[in-house]
Amino acid sequence: MTPELFDTHCHFMPGVDIGAQIARAKECGVTRIMAVGGSRELNETAARAGTGFFAVGWDRDQYGKIGEEDFPFDGNCAAVGEIGLDYFYDPDHRKEQLELFERQLQLAAGLDKPVVIHTREADDDTLGALKSIPSRGIIHCFTGSPDFCRKLLDLGFMISISGIVTFRRADNVRESALVVPDDRILIETDSPFLAPVPMRGKDNEPSFLVHTARFLASLRKTEFEDFAALTTANALKTLCTH
């Protein structure tokens, strides 16, 4: 029997054949997928993807593009996301990003939902926000240092590792992936971006999760079957809280 994997982070771009992607994923054992939003278009495709789990929210580049009528969210979502801070891409609008992030942390806390957080070159502000607004959920596509990873683990967060961990230059991601204990690690594709080795250069999709899962199992010196089982159990525990 193929072990069942859970892709905790996938964006379905408008126009892609979602049914075909889900079918290919199933053939590879990727039986669960969380479709993740972040913009108007992605929130709509995520909510309609029919994968059983979806997240909706406003990503760091949505400040100024949304209004009061865009809050709150679809209460059927499994999580609020993705939300967060990216000071690498947009260092000039830290204040706007932070405001939008904190507002949605409050909202998720009010809805009692987990959050899906993107954080890049914004360690201090991410930690500050999560300390001031008690939250739970997932740090997605983690690429930070082992030290930052430990601080997020201390706050109770799950750490999700993407295909970046398979990239040749990603020693720091491999180091961080080894810091995460068995009961806190998740895996994701972040499709259609960041296809793992040996699929680099292609459009990523949930079926490719297998490559990241196999790589991580071997990195962590775990049997693939055990790693699949524990990451799937972790995802269900994080997202099925009611």
Return the number of the residue (3 or 164) whose C-beta is nearest Zn ion: 164
User: Interacting stretch for Zn ion, rule CB under 5 A, among 68-76, 87-95, 183-191, 204-212?
Assistant: 183-191
CB of 118 to Zn ion, least distance (A): 6
**Strand-strand pairing, 185-187 and 115-120:** unpaired
CB of 188 to Zn ion, least distance (A): 8
User: Interacting stretch for Zn ion, rule CB under 5 A, among 97-105, 131-139, 149-157, 186-194?
Assistant: 186-194
User: Interacting stretch for Zn ion, rule CB under 5 A, among 15-23, 48-56, 174-182, 189-197?
Assistant: 189-197
Phi and psi, residue 136, nearest 5°: -135, 160
Return the number of the residue (44 or 178) whose C-beta is nearest Zn ion: 44
Return the number of the residue (3 or 143) whose C-beta is nearest Zn ion: 143
User: Interacting stretch for Zn ion, rule CB under 5 A, among 20-28, 45-53, 182-190, 198-206?
Assistant: 182-190
C-alpha–C-alpha distance, residues 133 and 198, integer Å:
40
Return the number of the residue (190 or 205) whose C-beta is nearest Zn ion: 190
Binding residues for Zn ion, rule CB under 5 A, total 1
CB of 113 to Zn ion, least distance (A): 17
* Residue 114: count of CB within 10 angstroms of its CB: 22
Give me the residues paired with residue 53 across strands.
34
CB of 212 to Zn ion, least distance (A): 14
For residues 94 and 124, the answer to whether their CB atoms sit within 8 Å is no
Element (H, E) at 228: helix 224-239
The DSSP annotation for 150-211 comes to HHHHHTT-EEEE-GGGGSTT-HHHHHHHTTS-TTTEEE---BTS-PPTTSTTSPP-GGGHHH
- Match 């706007």 to its residue by tokens: 96
User: Interacting stretch for Zn ion, rule CB under 5 A, among 45-53, 65-73, 143-151, 190-198?
Assistant: 190-198
Return the number of the residue (3 or 84) whose C-beta is nearest Zn ion: 84
Q: What is the DSSP letter of 100?
A: H
Return the number of the residue (116 or 228) whose C-beta is nearest Zn ion: 116
CB of 12 to Zn ion, least distance (A): 11
Q: How far is CA 70 from CA 31, 53, 56, 60, 153, in A?
A: 31, 21, 11, 15, 31
Residue ranges binding Zn ion (CB under 5 A)? 190
